[in-house]
Each structure stands twice: as structure tokens, then as C-alpha cells.
A and B are shown apart, each in its own frame.
Chain A
Amino acid sequence: MAQAPIPGDGRRAAGLLAPAYLWLTLAVFLPLSAMLFFSFLTAAPFGTESPRATLENYRDFFETPTYALLLWKSIRLGLWVTLLCVLIGFPCALVLARQIRGRAREALFLLVILPFWSNSLVRVFSWAIVLRGNGVLDRTLDALLPFDVRLGLMFTPAAVVIGLVHSYLPYVILTSYLALQAIEDDIFDAARALGAGRITILRRLILPLSLPGLIAGAVLVFVPVVGSFMEPRILGGRFGTYFGTVIEDQFVAVFNWPLGAALSFILLAVVLAILGLSSPVLRRGLT
């Protein structure tokens, strides 16, 4: 419910918000603008020679087709991981929110959040142990199935997807769960009284009413996955070169900070453009 603003409220709100904005400036805006600045230099301003202003780094991206290919590969990775997270996460959230009550729900919730609490490197290396040839997964399946199992998942794009889905699934589960949780139970009774079966209730009530949460979760997954570098590097092996890993290389291996910065901003721009282009669709889902 909208309230008429009280005179003087604006100033007080500004006062109260000031620390938050200060923090945003320090933690986000300053480093980002420094990076933006670097991206227009010939070299990071730490060496002996003094850097000059240039557009070279951005031109590099447009003149080297590999970058665009890798960016496209990263976007595809983002779409796949997001799709899988949604397909797995939403049903989980649905079961958690609508079927399970009391203690069991708390316990399951804890399990969902667990990946958040473990170190991401540990998480990725555990997947390496599970997925590698003759690893935990292969041996388990071998023991269970009568024929020889050699999945050879390690160092494939599938391994990267598995690792990323595991890391980012909680976002979709949590945001969807919160949205599902907010739906009044009575409307399901009302729908059943009107003769609606499960499918109708899911399609006409549950999905539309929880779509905002689902979309929020999808965005939370898609954005970082497109720029991810750790999971691709560790689990992807020779398939593990993505746009994110190239950027990381510029910073930690090649020490070409300006190029790394330029590629980062191109990634940011592309991701924002994708979100912007899909926003009419997303907005329809949010109302």
C-alpha cells in the first residue's frame, strides 16, 4: 500500500541510506571504475613504463574470432546450467514447500544450503574425485550394474555442467521456495473445489504465482555461470577453456590486466544486453 511521503522523510531516508551508498561506492563502484580505467590503457600502471590510453584491448576482442566463440560457448554453458538448475530446483522447491512439513523440512533445507557453506574449491575437487575415470561414480555403477561402466565424465563439458549445477542449484531452490511459500494454501483448496486436478493447479496457479522467484533464481544462476572459470578449469580439462578462464588468465598468468579488464566489461555488457532483451518476457512473468 502506497503512503503519501511525509515532508522531511526524504532527507531522513537519505541520511539512513548514506552508509549503504558509501559502502557501495567503496566496494563496488571504485574497483569497477578502476578496472574500466585499466581497460583503456596499454599496460597496468604498476610497471616502469608509463601506460598510454588506447582502444587496442577492445579492438582485440573484435579482431580475434576465438574470443567471440568462447563468449558464445560461455553463454551456452550459462543457458544449459540455468535450464538444468530450473528443471531440478523448481520441483525440489515445490516438494519442500508443499509436501513436507515440520522437522523433515528443516533437515532437507539444511542439505540444500550445505553447498553454500563448503569451500567452493573443496566442492569442485570432490566432484573431480567422483567423476574421474575409475572414480567413485564409475566404481559404484560398476558394482551395481552387470556390464562394464566407463563413463569418462571427467574433463568433459558435462563435468563442468555437473559441477556448476551443483554449486548454483541452491539459488533456484531458495528463491522458488520463498515464492511458493508465500502462496496461500486456501487457493489450492478453492481450485480443487472447482474441480481442478494437479496439472491444472500447477499450470494455472503454482507456476504463474511462483514465476517471479523462479526468474530471480535463474538470473542469479545465469550471470555468474557465464563468467565462471574455476569449475571449467578443474573439471573441464582440455575442454575447459571458456570466456571466464581466458579473463582469469589475463590477470593471473599473462599479466595483461588491461585486456582482462576489457574482456570483463564486454562480458558484463553482453550479459546486461541479454537480460535487457529478455526483460519484456521476464517482466511479464513478474506481474
Chain B
Amino acid sequence: MAEVSVAGVTMRFGEMTALDDVSLDFVNGGFFALLGPSGSGKTTLLRVIAGFLFPQAGRVRIAGQPVERVPVEKREIGMMFQNYALFPNLTVAENVGFGLRVRHVSRAEERRRVGEALDLVQLSGLGARRPRELSGGQRQRVALARAIVTNPKVLLLDEPLSALDKALRVDMQIELKRIQREVGITTIFVTHDQEEALTLADRIGILRDGRLVQAGPPREVYNAPIDTFTARFLGEANLLPDPLPVPLPDGARLSLTSAAAHAVRPEALTLSPGPIAAAENLLPGRLVSRVFAGSMATCIVAVLGETWKVVARDRDLPQLPENTEVWLGWARADTIPIDRA
């Protein structure tokens, strides 16, 4: 367990710059989620921290020690891969014990620690199985046990849950969080799934085209996105058009700050067939469609030439025919000012 810090890291593959001057600190025992669109450099950053890749510039420190030139074998990291990468010729116990065997731990000690790790991931009793005799979720747990049994300084996870179906994924998220808390290991987690990042992590970082756009606690990044990209990437965001039409449609009112852009979350909006007297912000629009999805419903509304989403409990949204005029209202506190467009 240790803190990890990345400073000014630049990683190029030939002409292609995969990481551009990325600086990030990962606190000891923290759970950090790296988010970003495909090709933004998440895997590359993780592999730089792991030691599979050596960056052209910048520093990587684990527990204060510079490790840019230390190969992966010597970095004392735990890593979990998207397809688990279990050793097919070894049993579950041998898989988990692999790292201990490499470290010349005694057989008795190995047996004890493998047993503990399997207990931790709730797989006790499956030690003699082969990976191919396990379900997807069980393989996942073996991979996790194998990654943490050596007490690594940092646990690196590259989209570890993306191969699981939705229900199992949610179970594993809870499980992963529990184990991470129990072990207290510094964890860096790459994911495509922003909901997953918001649920699991105590800090998140957003990458775009190899640059770090924003990092911070999930609530802070969600409530105060630094630019429109982050606002839209992390959760849904309805952006006000820039520039605003002058004059505003009849009956509309807005109270905005001087920020470069403004956004409203779909769940902050109230939809009504007529103007809402109490609303601090109010805009007319046209109902395009309504999508029912169990507990929640989504309305698509055309507003000032933009397409906005309104999300609410199904019974809180009035049943209206499509193409009728509707009004959207929200409180001043729900307007998210964004510094950079």
C-alpha cells in the first residue's frame, strides 16, 4: 500500500501521442477511477504505472520512489485484466499462489495465504478447480485474489468488470468495494462506465485525447464540471445554447452567471404542460418523445434548437401527446456554470 504519483508523463507511440503531460496523484488507500472515451489513453496510463510501458518524459513514483526505469516484474503491483488472464494450465490455488511461488514463499505460508485470499473473495473450496471450470464471476474473483495475495503496493484494474453481464457487474462492484476497503489497498481502476466510476471511486479522473481534463471527488466533478466535455461525459447534461437567442421566447426566463457555458442535469428539470410560476428558470419547448424504462421515464424535449432530456419518476411526468408545447423549469442552484466551453 502506497501513494502513487504521476508527474508530467508523456507517452508516444511513434507519431501518436497517447499521453500528453499527464500529472495525477493517487492517495494512499484511495480508490481512483480513470474515465474517458475510447482511445483517450486510460490503458496506456495504467500500463505506464504498472511498468509495461516506459514514458518518454515525466516521473512515476510509487511510495515516493521513482520507478520510471523499474520494469513491471520489480514494481510490486497487482494487476487485473479485462479478460482475467488466468493461467489455464494451473488450478485456482496455483493461479493465486503464482506470485508467492515466484517470491519463494514457503509452501506452508503459500497455502495459508492462498486460503486467506480465496476466503476474501468467497471462493474457499474451489482451489482445485481449473479456470475453465469456473463461471465468469468466479474467474473474476480468482483474478482479484491472485492480484492482491502478494500484498502489492497498488492494485491496477483495466475494465475488470466489462465482460460481466449487468446484474453480476453490480454484485461485483459491491464486492470489489468491500474487498478494497478491507485490504485498504491503493486502487486505480479504468472504466468506460461512468456510473461504475461514480459508485465505486472516491476520486475520479477524466482523460481526453491523452490529456487529463479534470480530477477530483466524484460529486465535485459531477456538480462542477470544468468544461462541456466533462459535463456531457459524466452523466447526462443539457447544455444551454451559446450564444442564447435574443430575445428569449415569450414567457421564458433565465438567471445565469457569467460563466462560459451552462448546463442542467436531466433529473433537475421539471416538466409541465403550462408555465411554472415558481421556477427561477423557465423555457418553452416541444415534446419530441417519451421513453418508459420501469421506475424512471425520459422525455426528449426540443428547447431553443437543442435536444434536452428530462428524467423523472414515471408518475411525476405528465402524460402528454407528442409534439405538444411543454415548459421546463429548474431552480437557480441547479444551473451548472462551466468555465470552459
Asked whether any CB of chain A lies closer than 8 Å to the CB of B296, the reply is no
Which B residue sits closest to A205, measured CB to CB?
B87
Q: Mark A176-195, 1 if CB is under 8 A from B, else 0.
A: 00000000101101111111
Contact B73 A190 (CB under 8 A): no
Contact B81 A186 (CB under 8 A): yes
Q: Which residues of B contact A191 (CB under 8 A)?
A: 87, 98
Min CB distance B43 to A, Å, is 11
Q: Which residues of B contact A53 (CB under 8 A)?
A: none
Contact A197 B85 (CB under 8 A): no
Partner of B98, one of A194, A197, A209: A194
Q: Mark B71-111, 1 if CB is under 8 A from A, else 0.
A: 11110111101010111111000000011001100000000
Which B residue sits closest to A211, measured CB to CB?
B89
> Which of A186, A187, A195, A196 has most B Cβ within 10 Å?
A195
Which B residue sits closest to A207, measured CB to CB?
B89
Q: In the complex where A196-B98, A209-B88, A209-B89 touch, is A190 in contact with B81 (Cβ < 8 A)?
A: yes
Chain B: interface size category: 20 to 34
Q: Which residues of A contact B74 (CB under 8 A)?
A: 195
> Which of A187, A189, A193, A200 has most B Cβ within 10 Å?
A193
Asked whether any CB of chain B lies closer than 8 Å to the CB of A208, the reply is yes
Contact A195 B81 (CB under 8 A): no
Q: Mark A196-219, 1 if CB is under 8 A from B, else 0.
A: 110010001100110000000000
Contact B102 A196 (CB under 8 A): yes
Contact A186 B73 (CB under 8 A): no
Min CB distance A63 to B, Å, is 49
Min CB distance B86 to A, Å, is 7
Contact B99 A189 (CB under 8 A): no
Q: In the complex where A208-B89, A209-B89 touch, is A195 in contact with B103 (Cβ < 8 A)?
A: yes
Partner of B150, one of A186, A194, A205: A194
Chain B, range 140-179, C-beta contacts under 8 Å to A: 146-147, 150, 156
Asked whether any CB of chain A lies closer than 8 Å to the CB of B50, the reply is yes
Min CB distance B198 to A, Å, is 27
Partner of A187, one of B85, B99, B147, B156: B85
Interchain pairs with CB closer than 8 A, number = 60
Min CB distance B218 to A, Å, is 27
Min CB distance B246 to A, Å, is 57
Partner of B72, one of A187, A192, A204, A208: A192
Which B residue sits closest to A200, measured CB to CB?
B102
Contact B77 A187 (CB under 8 A): no
Asked whether any CB of chain A lies closer than 8 Å to the CB of B229, the reply is no
Question: Please, how many angstroms separate the alpha-carbon atoms of A62 and B92 in the complex?
Answer: 53
Q: Which residues of B contact A189 (CB under 8 A)?
A: 52, 72, 79, 81, 85
Q: How many residues of A contact B (CB 8 A)?
A: 17
Question: Please, how many angstroms separate the alpha-carbon atoms of A240 and B52 in the complex?
Answer: 54
Q: In the complex where A187-B87, A208-B89, A209-B88 touch, is A193 in contact with B79 (Cβ < 8 A)?
A: yes
Question: Please, how many angstroms separate the alpha-carbon atoms of A156 and B83 in the complex?
Answer: 54
Q: DSSP majority for the A interface? A: helix
Q: Which residues of A contact B78 (CB under 8 A)?
A: 193
Q: Mark B291-316, 1 if CB is under 8 A from A, else 0.
A: 00000000000000000000000000
Contact A186 B83 (CB under 8 A): yes
Min CB distance B318 to A, Å, is 51
Q: Which residues of B contact A194 (CB under 8 A)?
A: 98-99, 102, 146, 150
Q: In the complex where A189-B52, A195-B74 touch, is A205 in contact with B85 (Cβ < 8 A)?
A: no
Contact A195 B88 (CB under 8 A): no
Partner of B73, one of A187, A196, A204, A208: A196
Which A residue sits closest to B99, measured CB to CB?
A194
Min CB distance A37 to B, Å, is 47
Q: Which residues of B contact A196 (CB under 8 A)?
A: 73, 98-99, 102
Q: Mark A120-146, 1 if CB is under 8 A from B, else 0.
A: 000000000000000000000000000
Min CB distance B74 to A, Å, is 7
Q: Which residues of A contact B85 (CB under 8 A)?
A: 184, 186-187, 189-190
Question: Please, how many angstroms separate the alpha-carbon atoms of A201 and B77 in the complex?
Answer: 17
Question: Please, how many angstroms separate the alpha-carbon atoms of A184 and B131 in the complex?
Answer: 14
Contact B103 A190 (CB under 8 A): no
Contact B89 A190 (CB under 8 A): no
Question: Please, how many angstroms separate the alpha-carbon atoms of A182 and B74 in the complex?
Answer: 28
Contact B86 A187 (CB under 8 A): yes
Min CB distance A98 to B, Å, is 15
Q: Mark B57-80, 1 if CB is under 8 A from A, else 0.
A: 000000000000001111011110
Q: Which residues of A contact B87 (CB under 8 A)?
A: 187, 190-191, 204-205
Question: Please, how many angstroms separate the alpha-carbon atoms of A169 and B199 in the complex?
Answer: 57
Q: In the complex where A184-B85, A197-B73, A209-B88 touch, is A190 in contact with B102 (Cβ < 8 A)?
A: no
Which B residue sits closest to A210, measured CB to CB?
B89
Question: Please, how many angstroms separate the alpha-carbon atoms of A192 and B79 in the complex?
Answer: 10
**Sample of 26 A–B contacts (CB below 8 Å):** A184-B83, A186-B81, A186-B83, A186-B85, A187-B85, A189-B85, A190-B79, A190-B81, A190-B86, A190-B87, A191-B87, A191-B98, A192-B71, A193-B79, A193-B156, A194-B146, A195-B73, A195-B74, A195-B76, A195-B102, A195-B150, A196-B102, A200-B102, A205-B87, A209-B88, A209-B89
